[in-house]
């Protein structure tokens, strides 16, 4: 009887919660996997009465393909820098004048006026970070690898089948281009062929191409080396103390991800509310503490946990910054060369 009473109380409470969540309507968020904490979304729901539905993707290209195929259900999606421009040019985004939002004053330079959206008409900053690779020092010959893309593209023979590359054409092609000192937007078929040859030669060393589950795969010691984003590397190191994240000396891919509203989103007002809410220092800091990446919001670092504050990728030195290679929007010719390399590689 007591159990029954408690049960019905819980049911009533549950109904009340979902009724109040429904009162503010819904928000359909399409984000990278493992890229926002559930607790933060719960707090947004509690504070606004807006129910959040989360769906996930694993690359900018799959996000683009989904939207181009006509997916209509999303209110906020999270493309990287170059992809904001592509989506904008393809007419896939709502103009939302982020620079006029109340919290925009907190966005720090240079991400208040990025090349891909200089007036911040379409996008708000989410996380920023870099791409390198992590290895397990306890399992590589000699306990140390050179801090060069060479270690990743031509790993020691002992690592055969224990290396993973991101399943991301933009990331892998760009890293190879940096290593070979080729422009990431090369229009020269000979240079693209050099990239192709490098990636084809690396392929037999790989266990797979996969951008999801990188942290778990490393922590479980299923593999020894993984191309990774710095936040994933930070989280890997929390459980695998022998994990070392490499900032390659030839150049460090730099990116930033953004919140945008796809054209025709049904819950536009809720999406605008969410985007402005995410620019609150405390809120975006909670996302940083979970993901392990920095963000562009002034005052948020005061809420960072100590480990995150101490991470070199969060406060890069001038020497590290000098090695950052931001994403570029390449010509159609360059993209066609790159896509041909990828299609051949994945056959």
Q: How far apart are CA 112 and CA 20, in angstroms?
A: 35
Q: Is 98 annotated as a binding residue?
A: no
CB closer to ligand SPD, 84 vs 279: 84
Q: Is 173 annotated as a binding residue?
A: no
133 binds ligand SPD per the rule CB under 6 A? no
Part of the chain binding ligand SPD (CB under 6 A), chosen from 32-40, 96-104, 270-278, 315-323: 32-40
End-to-end CA distance of the chain: 63
How many alpha carbons fall within 13 Å on the CB side of residue 68? Answer: 12
Output the six-digit token pair for 97.
Answer: 């004048």
Q: Dump strand ranges (E) for the chain.
A: 26-32, 51-57, 76-77, 123-136, 163-165, 206-209, 225-229, 243-246, 252-260, 294-295, 324-326
Part of the chain binding ligand SPD (CB under 6 A), chosen from 27-35, 135-143, 294-302, 337-345: 27-35
Among 27, 29, 30, 32, binds ligand SPD (CB under 6 A): 32
Q: How far apart are CA 149 and CA 180, in angstroms?
A: 9
Q: Is 35 annotated as a binding residue?
A: no
Please state the closest distance from residue 22 (CB atom) to ligand SPD, in A. Answer: 30
For residue 48, give Cα distances in angstroms to 89, 199, 269, 283, 303.
Answer: 32, 48, 12, 13, 22
CB closer to ligand SPD, 104 vs 234: 234
Please state the closest distance from residue 296 (CB atom) to ligand SPD, in A. Answer: 14
CB closer to ligand SPD, 45 vs 171: 171
CB closer to ligand SPD, 80 vs 236: 80
Q: Is 170 annotated as a binding residue?
A: yes
Site string for ligand SPD, 52-81 (x = CB under 6 A): ----------------------------x-
Query: Nearest Cα to 24, choosing from 281, 272, 279, 286?
Result: 272
Output the six-digit token pair for 135.
Answer: 């290895």
Q: Is 82 annotated as a binding residue?
A: yes
| Residue ranges in 234-263 that form contacts with ligand SPD under rule CB under 6 A | 255, 257
Part of the chain binding ligand SPD (CB under 6 A), chosen from 29-37, 198-206, 297-305, 311-319: 29-37
Among 171, 226, 245, 267, binds ligand SPD (CB under 6 A): 171
CB closer to ligand SPD, 93 vs 140: 93
324: Cβ–Cβ under 8 A, 6 or more apart, which residues? 130, 251, 252, 253, 254, 316
| Residue ranges in 180-239 that form contacts with ligand SPD under rule CB under 6 A | 229
Output the six-digit token pair for 249.
Answer: 């000396």
Q: How far apart are CA 127 and CA 285, in angstroms?
A: 10
Applying CB under 6 A, which residues contact ligand SPD? 32-35, 80, 170-171, 229, 255, 257
Q: Write out the binding residues for spermidine.
A: 82, 168-171
């Amino acid at each position: 009887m007591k159990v029954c009473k408690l049960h019905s109380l819980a049911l009533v409470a549950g109904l009340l919660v979902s009724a109040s969540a429904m009162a503010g309507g819904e928000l359909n968020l399409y984000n990278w996997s493992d890229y926002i904490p559930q607790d933060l979304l719960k707090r947004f729901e509690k504070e606004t009465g807006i129910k959040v539905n989360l769906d996930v993707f694993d690359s900018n290209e799959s996000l683009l393909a989904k939207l181009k195929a006509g997916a209509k259900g999303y209110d906020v999606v999270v493309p990287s820098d170059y992809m904001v421009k592509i989506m904008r040019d393809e007419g896939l985004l709502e103009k939302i004048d982020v620079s006029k939002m109340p919290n925009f004053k907190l966005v720090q330079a240079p991400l208040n006026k990025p090349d891909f959206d200089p007036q911040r008409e379409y996008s708000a900053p989410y996380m920023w970070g870099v791409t390198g690779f992590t290895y397990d020092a306890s399992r590589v010959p000699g306990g140390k690898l050179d801090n060069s893309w060479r270690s990743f593209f031509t790993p020691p023979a002992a690592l055969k089948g224990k290396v993973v590359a991101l399943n991301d054409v933009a990331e892998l092609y760009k890293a190879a281009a940096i290593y070979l000192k080729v422009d990431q937007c090369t229009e020269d078929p000979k240079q693209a062929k050099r990239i192709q040859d490098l990636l084809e030669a690396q392929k037999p060393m790989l266990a797979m191409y996969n951008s999801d589950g990188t942290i778990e795969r490393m922590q479980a010691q299923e593999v020894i080396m993984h191309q990774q984003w710095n936040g994933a590397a930070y989280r890997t190191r929390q459980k695998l103390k022998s994990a070392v994240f490499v900032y390659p000396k030839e150049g460090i891919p730099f990116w930033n991800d953004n919140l945008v509203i796809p054209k025709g989103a049904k819950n536009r007002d809720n999406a605008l509310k969410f985007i402005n809410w995410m620019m609150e220092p405390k809120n975006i800091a909670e996302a940083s503490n979970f993901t392990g990446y920095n963000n562009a919001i002034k005052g948020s670092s005061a809420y960072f946990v100590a480990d995150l504050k101490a991470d070199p990728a969060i406060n890069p030195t001038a020497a590290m910054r000098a090695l950052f290679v931001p994403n570029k929007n390449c010509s159609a010719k360059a993209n066609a060369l790159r896509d041909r390399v990828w299609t051949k590689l994945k056959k």
